[in-house]
Amino acid sequence: MEILLLLIPISIVLIGIAGVTFVWAVNNDQFEELDRHGFDILEDDPGEK
């Protein structure tokens, strides 16, 4: 039972870090154009001939 006194604060801190990281990613446009990179392989390289 004493282990809960350690595990609960650690899990709250980890959830807080995950939340801050998610908010940072959304604010820095990390989720924009998610499907565009899947089509990059189909495009010709403009530098090659």
pLDDT for the residue 49: 56
pLDDT for the residue 33: 78
- Cα→Cα distances 25→16, 17, 18, 22, Å: 14, 12, 11, 5
CA pair distance 8, 2, nearest whole angstrom: 11
State pTM to two decimals.
Answer: 0.64
- For residue 3 the two structure tokens come to 């282990």
pLDDT for the residue 5: 95
What would the pLDDT profile of 1-49 be if each residue is shown by its tens digit? Answer: 899 999 999 999 999 999 999 999 999 988 887 777 777 777 777 766 5
Q: Which of 23, 5, 27 is nearest to 15 (CA)?
A: 23
- What type of residue sits at position 4? L
